[in-house]
Amino acid sequence: MVIVLKPNPDPQQLAALRSWLAAHDLTVHDSVGVTNTLLGLVGDTTAVDIEMLRAMSIVQDVRRIQEPYKCANRKMHREDTVIRVGNATVGGGGFAIMAGPCSIESEEQITAVAKAVKAAGATLLRGGAFKPRTSPYAFQGLREEGLKLLLAAGKETGLPVVTEIMDISQLPYFDEVDVIQVGARNMQNFELLKELGRLKKPILLKRGFSATLTELLMSAEYIMAGGNEQVILCERGIRTFATDTRNTLDLSAVPLLRTMTHLPIIVDPSHGTGIRSLVKPMAVASAIIGADGLMVEVHDHPEKAWCDGQQSVTPEAFADIAAACRAVLPHRCREEMNA
Ligand code: PEP
Ligand code: MN
């Protein structure tokens, strides 16, 4: 439920309304707009008498939110959520670029890639330490050691780091990680999402292989309901009958999610296609359709990569991709949802 307040509400009446809501076990999320402030109510609102609220002189309107996702809902928070991490910003019309190898392989590799992507305009450094692999016989990531190497490369370049967590038991290693990634395979690991909801740091939530957008937002809701509102959504392709690409990159998810939620939305064209030559066109398309950023796999020697070499681009190719995206930003088609 959302209460739209009249402009400049009387402070005493507002305080009375807040204590009434608190007494009904409702949590209030304020969304301060240019003219109106919205009070988003989370909790069991079935017993709330809408007409009684509407009759209050400081209240302009009261609306029920039908969708099952409440905190993530655009109706609850009209303005885009903007997430600041280090010197990077994700959401609100900018274009964040997370780049780095699929997996961290050595100090030399992560340091070389970090410096190269930074020079090319990346705003965050990605790298997998705990790797979700289809085969238990495949390289599982350097784990704690990989995290240390990633954090060192992040410090050296000044880039905030983003890396994947696979299980609650790994959380103690993530203290210094700037953005915690939840991968496609864990999008509905609800216990993990609840735990991440207790943190005060940004979470990058990737869409599951077969998840609808509503399911993606319900997973974001698990994190937000716990008090952590810093969620970045990532479209990374879904499973369809089309097997010529690794996944089917659902770019329509970007403008559609934009209407559904205030959270930032980025695109991963690397996992979304699985084919190196498709990364640039899909990255540029993402920029054009108004995505808030990208996640791109970059490797200094893709042919020797321990994981996902076929979709990794060289630092030179990444520089070209980042420049091509920047070139189209002034022409992007990004619906202004804040009005
Ligand atoms: C990744 O980003 O390294 C990854 C494993 O992605 P996804 O969860 O989208 O497969
Ligand atoms: Mn990968």
> Structural domains in the chain?
2-63 (3.30.70.1140), 83-331 (3.20.20.70)
For residue 324, give the DSSP letter.
H
**Which residue's CA is the closest to the ligand 1 atom numbered 9?**
184
pLDDT for the residue numbered 338: 54
Q: Nearest bound ligand to CA 164? A: 1
Q: Is the CB of 207 under 6 A from ligand 1?
A: no
**Span 320-338, average pLDDT:** 90
Q: Which atom of ligand 1 is nearest to the CA of 308?
A: 3
Q: Is the CB of 208 under 6 A from ligand 1?
A: no
Summarize pLDDT for 182-202 with one digit per residue, the tens: 999 999 999 999 999 999 999
Report the mean per-residue pLDDT for the chain. Answer: 96
For residue 81, give the DSSP letter.
P
pTM: 0.95
Q: Nearest bound ligand to CA 163? A: 1
Summarize pLDDT for 227-262 with one digit per residue, the tens: 999 999 999 999 999 999 999 999 999 999 999 999
For residue 122 the two structure tokens come to: 């990346």
Ligand 2 mean position, distance from CA 85 (Å): 23
As a whole number of angstroms, the distance between CA 48 and CA 43 comes to 11
Q: Which atom of ligand 1 is nearest to the CA of 128?
A: 3
Q: Nearest bound ligand to CA 247? A: 1
Does residue 307 carry a pLDDT above 90? yes
For residue 184, give the DSSP letter.
G
Summarize pLDDT for 49-72 with one digit per residue, the tens: 999 999 999 999 999 999 999 999
Ligand 2 mean position, distance from CA 170 (Å): 19
Q: Is the CB of 206 under 6 A from ligand 1?
A: yes
Any idea what the Cα angle at residue 319 is, between residues 102 and 150, rounded to 5°?
Answer: 35
